[in-house]
Structure 1
Amino acid sequence: MSGINPRETGSGQGYRGRNSTADRALDILLMFDEDRLVLPATEVAARLGVARSTAYRYLQSLTSNGFLEESEGSGFRLGPRVLDLARLARKGIGLSDLARPVMRDLVERTGMPVLLTRRAGSAVVCLEREEAGTFLRLSYERGQVLSVNAGAAALALLAWAPDNELDELLAEPLPRYTDATHTDPDELRVHLAEVREQGYAVSRGELDPDVLGVGAPVRGETGAVVAAISIAALSHRVPDREVPRFVKAVREAADALSAQVARMGAS
C-alpha cells in the first residue's frame, strides 16, 4: 500500500469537503503502508489538517472498534478487526481460486468467454473473467460493478435473493441498458420466478446489444447462492436450437464449482 500521498498538501486542503467521521476514519487507515506501521497522533493530525485533540478522537473511535490499537505510547498500529476483514477478503479470493480451473474448462467446452460474478447488495461484481481467444466487447470486466436487473449473470444471482431483499431492490428505479433490459418490477419478478424454476438464466441483449448470456447459480455449503458462473457470445451466432447445449455446459460447471465451494467452505 502506498499511503495517500496524492492527498497530502501540508495544509489539509486535500481533505476539504471530506468532513464526515467515516471519511476521516478511512483516511487514517489508508495512511498505513510498508514504511508506516505505527503512526503517532501528531502525524495523523498534521496529515489530516486538524487539531491533535480532533485526530485523537478519530483514533480512539477506531481503537474502540478494533481497527487500531495503541503501540506502547509510540502511536497507533492496525488492530485485530483489520485482520478479520483480511480473512474475509481471503475467503473471497478462495472462491476465485476454485473457480478458475472450472472456468477454463467451460471456455474449452463452449469457445466462449466465462464470467464469475457475485452479488453485493444492489449490484453485481465481476470477480473473474476467462477469455476465449476471440474479442467480445462486454460490460463485465474484472472488478466491474453493474446493476442486478440486466444480463444472465445478474439474473442468476437475483433470482435466489431473499424476498425481503428482492422487495428492497425492486423498490428502487431499475436502470435501462438496452431495449431488452427488464425495468418493470412486476415483469422482472415473473421472469425471476421462471429462472428459479428452470435453474438457469438466458438473456439476449439485456445488458450489451447482440450479446447472448447463459448463467447458473453457484451454491455454498448451506445451499445458499454465493456466486454465478456464465458465458457470453454474439447473439446472432447462437440460434435458439443451440442454446440448450450451452445451458447444459454452464449448469454442469456451476454444479462442479458448487461442490468444490461446499467441500472447501469457501465463499
Structure 2
Amino acid sequence: MDILGMFTEERAVVSGAEVAEQLGTSRSTAYRYLQSLVTNRFLEEAPAGGFRLGLRVLELARVARRAFGLSDVAMPVMQRLAAQARESVLLTRRSGDLVVCLDRAESVAHSVRISYERGSVLPLNAGASALALLAWEEPATLRDLLGRAQLSSFTPNTVTDVDALVKRLEKIRRAGYSVTRGELDNEVLGVAAPIRDESGGVVAALSVAAIAARVPASRQPGIVAAVRAAAGEISERLITVAG
C-alpha cells in the first residue's frame, strides 16, 4: 500500500531505489515487494525503466465507481445536461478533506475540454463542486473539517480564510447552488448543486465546468437552473433505487 501511495500525477513512474528509500528497506527487499505487485498486475515495468501502475488498479477503480451506484444512476442525466449546457459535466463526492471526480460527461459542442478526469482529486476549498459538497455540513463539523484541512490557494480568487469560507457556504446553502469563477483554474466557471439520498443528506455534487469566456452573464441563470434540475432528478433516481 505504501508503494502504491507513492504514485501521483507528477510521479507516474517510480524506481526500485526510490521505493527502498521511501520504505527504509534494502533494494533487494524493495524489488521483492515490487515484483509481487507486478505479478498481481498492480504494477508493470515501464518501457524506459522503473515501474508504473498496472491494469489491476484500473479494474479496481471501475469497481469502486460502480460500488457507489452513483455513476450508473447519474450518467443518463449527466449526458443530457452536457448536451443542454454544451459544456462538461462532473459528478463528484467528498472523501475526508478531498473531493474526488467520480465520473464526467462531455458535450460535443466544444472541442476544448476541461481536464478533470475520472479519479482526479480536487481541493476542498476551491471549485463549485467542493463548495456544494461542504455547504450542507453541520456548522461544528464544517469548522472542524476546514480547520484541519490544508486550504491551498490556486488563483487570486481562491478563498483560504475559514471564517470567510463559512460565510460563503451559508449563502450557498440558502441559494441551493454554488457558482465559482477562476477560483480553482483562472479561466474556469463552475456551477454545482447537491445530490441527496433518501435521508436528505448530501452524498455528491453535480456540476458544469466551462471555459468562463464561453459563458456570458446572460447564459449563467439558464445553466444554474439546468444543473439544479438535473441534480434533483438524480436525487430522485437515487431514492427510487434505494427504495
Query: Normalising to structure 2: TM-score of the pair?
Result: 0.73
**One-letter code of the match for 2:230?**
A
CA distance in 2 between partners of 1:218 and 1:100 (Å): 13
1:237-267 CA-to-partner distances (Å, cap 9, x unmatched) read: 322232111111000100000011111129x
CA contact (8 A) 1:138 1:208 kept: no
Aligned counterpart, 2:72: 97
Q: Summarize the Cα distance change of 1:14–1:182 in structure 2 as closer, same or farther, 3 Å threshold.
A: closer
CA distance in 1 between partners of 2:226 and 2:215 (Å): 15
Aligned counterpart, 2:46: none
Aligned counterpart, 1:231: 208
Q: After superposition, where does 1:1-267 map in structure 2 within 5 Å?
A: 17-18=22-23, 33=40, 90-92=66-68, 94-133=69-108, 134-136=110-112, 138=114, 140-171=116-147, 172-265=149-242
**One-letter code of the match for 1:190?**
K
The percentage of counterpart residues that share the same residue type is 45
Question: What is the CA-CA distance between 1:16 and the residue it aligns to?
Answer: 5.8
Structure 2 unaligned segments of length 5 or more: list them: 5-12, 26-32, 42-61
**One-letter code of the match for 1:228?**
A
Question: What is the CA-CA distance between 1:137 and the residue it aligns to?
Answer: 5.0
Greater Cα radius of gyration, structure 1 or 2: 1
Question: What is the CA-CA distance between 1:175 and the residue it aligns to?
Answer: 0.3
Question: What is the CA-CA distance between 1:30 and the residue it aligns to?
Answer: 5.8
Q: CA RMSD in A?
A: 3.1
Query: Normalising to structure 1: TM-score of the pair?
Result: 0.67
**One-letter code of the match for 1:118?**
R
Aligned counterpart, 2:56: none
Q: Summarize the Cα distance change of 1:132–1:168 in structure 2 as closer, same or farther, 3 Å threshold.
A: same
Aligned counterpart, 2:7: none
CA contact (8 A) 2:191 2:207 kept: yes
CA distance in 2 between partners of 1:214 and 1:89 (Å): 23
CA distance in 2 between partners of 1:201 and 1:97 (Å): 24
CA contact (8 A) 1:180 1:205 kept: yes
CA contact (8 A) 2:88 2:113 kept: no
CA distance in 2 between partners of 1:108 and 1:198 (Å): 25
1:80-128 CA-to-partner distances (Å, cap 9, x unmatched) read: xxxxxx9976431x21111110100001111111000000000000011
CA distance in 1 between partners of 2:215 and 2:76 (Å): 25
**One-letter code of the match for 2:203?**
V
CA distance in 2 between partners of 1:136 and 1:217 (Å): 26
Q: Summarize the Cα distance change of 1:175–1:128 in structure 2 as closer, same or farther, 3 Å threshold.
A: same
CA distance in 2 between partners of 1:87 and 1:197 (Å): 36
Q: Partner of 1:119: helix, strand, or coil? A: strand
CA distance in 1 between partners of 2:198 and 2:104 (Å): 24
Structure 1 unaligned segments of length 5 or more: list them: 21-26, 35-85
Question: What is the CA-CA distance between 1:224 and the residue it aligns to?
Answer: 0.6
Q: Partner of 1:179: helix, strand, or coil? A: coil
Q: Summarize the Cα distance change of 1:166–1:148 in structure 2 as closer, same or farther, 3 Å threshold.
A: same
